[in-house]
Chain A
């Protein structure tokens, strides 16, 4: 049936081979995208790259001071994720679409902060975190994560309890 092919078989095989080699070469040579550090996405990238490089203090530095509270580099290191990649999803403006805690009442034990005084995010950046397992096909899993950011002092700060979710445990220490 080769006579009915619109393109000769050898040309198809050669073309596909060149395509694969070309794509693999380009993909291997390029690194992660470089985002504008003054943008919300740039702050998120800086935070995640710091985690990836185990620069815990650098990661803490982009968290809003009010949300960071008493948290130290050790607290972040304790939640260390061994190996991951992050893909940027959509970014949007608005307000947090969930219930806001407006007041804490003392039931027993210690007093807690009034969370209503903390600044809330106005920009939301979706990221897909991919945890990398070992070997072959299908040994990874993904986790959708949304970062909240607020614009203060010409800088986009990360607010809330960002992935990998550690400030709840140390902010009010």
Chain B
């Protein structure tokens, strides 16, 4: 009785809240004010998330399947109470935001909402789907409830249809698809690495070497079967001609991770072979090669599929990818150079041969240095002036240079501390080798990076004196045009609410040239851009 009264009370309170909010909404001209609606969409996402999972719990309670532990009263109470609270909020805010989207389609809140729903419900869908498919391949079967799969799939499809009805058009409108692509890709990649490294390659290796483990395909097959269609649906379908920052960021990051996987796997195979050639290894030494090979092959495949999207023209996206790889190469090189120096001159090793360690460190260092040299040499392909002023190169030299300098400073401080502590009679037995070597290597790297940065900045400084000027740009998608103006420019952007007037890299360069460092008003629409001189006060 008490529970029923409590439930009724909650329903009454929720009804009153909704009635008041709806009444206030009717009184004011709600659809007339443009805005991001971020807060409203966040509340909607929260309500939809709670409602979705509560509904899944409710349906799972109705169709419990073969659950070993089942408490229908508790499950029902949990799911119903969550639904009662979240359902009305989700319903109200969904209708409210649907109406506002019709007037203001470029709302960033809609993009953010779809991205959150994609991240939460596609992950939930993948987890349940992998369990379900894996159950099909297991002899004993499983107890995974199919009802959750149905509910999560319904939530995902519902939002997919809504996104098609009113596609997100803000600057980051790619974000939901990019998140879905990432979820599908990670699932597919793990599945493929497992299928090859724990299954197929182990079968092949087992035919050669008796010490091989027995091959396994579960749950890798299920992950591959589930991940592949999601990745295909989100990534391989045609994209809009105007691709935004999320798309390019994702493509660059995935290309870098995939190439790192490919090179890392190949380096691991190289280390295994070098150890066998020059070290004393057992018969099971090559047991890890199937996994290393799978890691490398899947990495190469991922790299081929994503790297080509960056194209061959020296855009900032391509530069970001190359300088990120160069940064990884340099960072790994410095780390393993310290390790190798410790192995060469350290006095801490008191037992055991270190030949395998040396071969490992030497091989990894050679590979990392090769990566760094290859990717830094790519910068010569661009026009020097354009390359030197590009933000990826400047960020690489300045950002990485500062990080290296900070690490070098830490190494120097540690070295001085140990030496001073000893000089003052302290009982410090720490070796100065590691901090001092860290200081030397990172200091050299920092010196090189910062010298190049400062040299290029000096070379590129123009003799032309630019007086401060103001530019006002009216556009729906300004992109990164603000970074293309000289530092004397004060750029103001007025966002168009109608989604027209996107600025791509090429148009940004044309606008900067047309403005010619003079106070201007720039109007961008679907026909291109117009520049008018602005009056200076």
Q: Which residues of A contact B (CB under 8 A)?
A: 1-7, 9, 12-13, 16, 19-20, 23-24, 26-28, 30-33, 35, 41, 44-45, 48-49, 52, 83-93, 127, 130, 132, 134-137, 139
Contact = CB atoms under 8 A, between A and B. Distances in A.
A13 B350 contact: no
A132 B284 CA distance: 13
Interface string B443-485: 0000010011001100100000000000000000000000000
B352 A52 contact: yes
Given A6-B448, A7-B448, A48 B350 contact: yes
Given A86-B351, A92-B427, 11 more contacts: A1-B388, A1-B452, A23-B337, A23-B344, A24-B344, A32-B354, A85-B349, A86-B350, A135-B289, A136-B288, A137-B364
Interface string B480-504: 0000000000000000000000000
7 tightest A-B contacts by CB?
A: A85-B352, A135-B288, A86-B351, A27-B344, A26-B344, A27-B358, A33-B347
Contacts of B158: none
Interface in B374-400: 377, 379-380, 384, 387-388, 393
Contacts, number: 141
A135 B345 contact: no
Contact of B284 (A35, A48, A84, A134): A134
A139 B365 CA distance: 18
Contacts of A84: 351-352
23 contacts: A1-B456, A3-B384, A9-B373, A12-B373, A20-B365, A27-B340, A27-B362, A28-B358, A32-B349, A32-B350, A33-B347, A33-B349, A85-B349, A86-B350, A86-B352, A87-B348, A87-B350, A88-B349, A132-B352, A135-B285, A136-B272, A137-B264, A139-B288
B252 interface: no
Contacts of A132: 352, 356
**Interface of A, helix, strand, loop or mixed by DSSP:** mixed
A89 B340 CA distance: 18
B350 A45 contact: yes
B270 to A, nearest CB: 9
A136 B349 contact: no
A7 B455 CA distance: 12
A49 B430 CA distance: 22
Interface of B: 264, 267-269, 271-272, 275, 281-282, 284-289, 292, 333, 337, 340-341, 343-345, 347-362, 364-366, 369, 373, 377, 379-380, 384, 387-388, 393, 427, 429-430, 448, 451-452, 455-456, 459
Nearest to A52: B351
B289 A136 contact: yes
Contacts of B275: 135-136
Contacts of B387: 1
B448 A136 contact: no
A83 B285 CA distance: 13
Contact of B379 (A1, A45, A137): A1
Contacts of A9: 373, 377
Contact of B429 (A27, A28, A44, A90): A90
B378 to A, nearest CB: 10
B351 A24 contact: no
B350 A134 contact: no
Q: Which of A4, A41, A139 has the most CB of B within 10 A?
A: A4
A170 B8 CA distance: 71
A134 B289 CA distance: 10
Contacts of B271: 136-137
B448 A16 contact: no
Contacts of A32: 349-352, 354
